[in-house]
Amino acid sequence: MKHPSFCVVGHPNKGKSSIVASLALDDTVAISNIPGTTHYKRSYPLQVDGKVVYELFDTPGFQRARRVLAWLEQHEVSADKKHEVVRAFVNEHRDDPKFHDEIELLEPILDGAGIIYVVDASKPYSSEYEAEMEILRWCNQPSMALINHIENDDYSDEWKRALGYYFKLIRTYNPMQSSFKEQLHILESMAHLNEEWTESVKESIVLFKQYHEQMIQKSALLISELIQESVTHIEKTTLHKEDVTEADKSALEQKYKQRLRDMETASYKKIEAVWNYQHLQKESFLLPFEEIDLFSEEAASIFGLTKKELLFSATTSGAITGAGVDMIFAGHTAFLGALIGGVVGATGAYFGFDELSEVKILGQKLGQRYLQMGPMKNRNFPYILLSRALLYTTKLMQRSHAKRDILSLHDGALKEQLLDEKLKKSLEKYHKKFRKAEKLSYDEQKEYQRLLEESLKRGCYGYSSIDSL
């Protein structure tokens, strides 16, 4: 095979599928505490930029190991020929339903896959496993044993003594609590199984690190986009009447809140995809607004004047002039006020409100009024949003793909670690721009993203660099 390939085998219900899901970073692997859930071998390749880093095979558990071994031992051959006898067994019994599970798990090994034999050290060692291990030794492929702990009891010592007779390498690995660092250690162990595999596995380790770096970079980019889009977002509703009611304000507020929540939900979905989660279940995590001032305001557009304002301007100056508009808007529309003065004042006549509403400048109607919410002026809001996004992403980074429980999103200590005062201070100059609805330059965007990347790395590795592992 052109890439490292490993067949995960063992007794039924010992955590084989959980180990595959964990190492392949794939939550689509079927996992159940009911024996016999896996009926057919299935390949789970881990790919980076279209290149397979390594491939894992999930397989059914041994069902009739003693009968298979008895058949093999009827053939007296030298050690270098034993794998040929195993192949003969597979060819002869391929269509025999009694040996379906054994055929499924042996085929990838005969095709060149290394062997990862999984045992549950929370159960005592028994000689019934020796038939399985002897069959695997007949396959003459590089092999290692992984000691899993499904429950709390620990019989590791007796398992290690027995496994040492059959396997070159023995490692302890809990797929439900595995970290990126532990996954790397398993990969490094695989590199020692066979000299011919060493270089390819080392290359896979480099690719695996690069893959993790890429996922962190993509996550940081998505978070930075979420913060900027949410803080600068403006929600408007056009008013067709002069008075603004509480119902108008309430309707806009609900629309504004829902839009921000939709932005966050969409961003989290994208981050889940980055980390290869397709079936994630999580607690409700709605963005809170109870203590945030949303800065709801009624606003006339830069062209918008009520009838009363028009009458005031008309009676004091005899016409709608640029100066009149500038006065009403406290000097914020000098240029556009002059435009209005030029378009309307030059006629020397007074236009009524309805007629003026039909006059357009730069594609907008004069007299238009709207209710506006945003950009978010509240200083704490970007940090609330950011701490949630960093916590959520770090939880995904730390979570094993073998877990099927509901992801908990409450961890105040981790939040503080991810977004400390030093980071807040570094980010504030960018948030000031967001609150003014200003865009960042390219260099500013890269620096903002870099700061988020460092936070995520500290959360995942405890260091700001993956090379520290």
For position 188, which CATH number holds?
Answer: 3.40.50.300
pLDDT for residue 326: 36
223 in a structural domain: yes
Exposure string of 22-43, with b = 16+ CB inside 10 Å and e = fewer, is bbbbbbebebeeeeebbeebbe
Question: What's the one-letter identity of residue 385?
Answer: L
Structural domain of 341: 302-367
255 with 307, same domain?
no
43 with 150, same domain?
yes
327 with 394, same domain?
no
pLDDT for residue 331: 38
Cα–Cα dist 322/335, whole Å: 8
Cα–Cα dist 5/143, whole Å: 11
Domain final position from 326, 349, 367: 367
Domain final position from 150, 168, 193: 193
115 in a structural domain: yes
Q: How many structural domains is the chain composed of?
A: 3
Residue with tokens 């496994």: 163
pLDDT for residue 292: 67
CB 149 within 8 A of CB 174: yes
Domain final position from 193, 219, 236: 193
Question: What's the one-letter identity of residue 412?
Answer: G
Residue 402: name the closest of 14, 104, 20 by CA.
Answer: 20
pLDDT for residue 97: 94
Written as tens digits, the pLDDT of the chain (469 aa) is 578 899 999 998 899 999 999 999 999 998 877 776 688 899 999 887 788 888 999 999 999 999 999 999 999 899 999 999 999 999 999 999 999 999 999 999 999 999 999 999 999 999 999 999 999 999 999 999 999 999 999 999 999 999 999 998 999 999 998 888 888 898 888 888 878 888 888 888 888 889 999 999 999 999 999 999 999 998 888 777 667 788 888 888 899 999 999 999 999 999 999 999 999 998 888 887 776 666 545 544 434 444 444 444 444 433 333 333 333 333 344 444 444 444 444 333 334 444 444 445 445 555 567 788 888 888 889 999 999 999 999 999 999 999 989 998 887 788 888 988 999 999 999 999 998 888 899 999 999 999 999 999 998 887 655 555 5
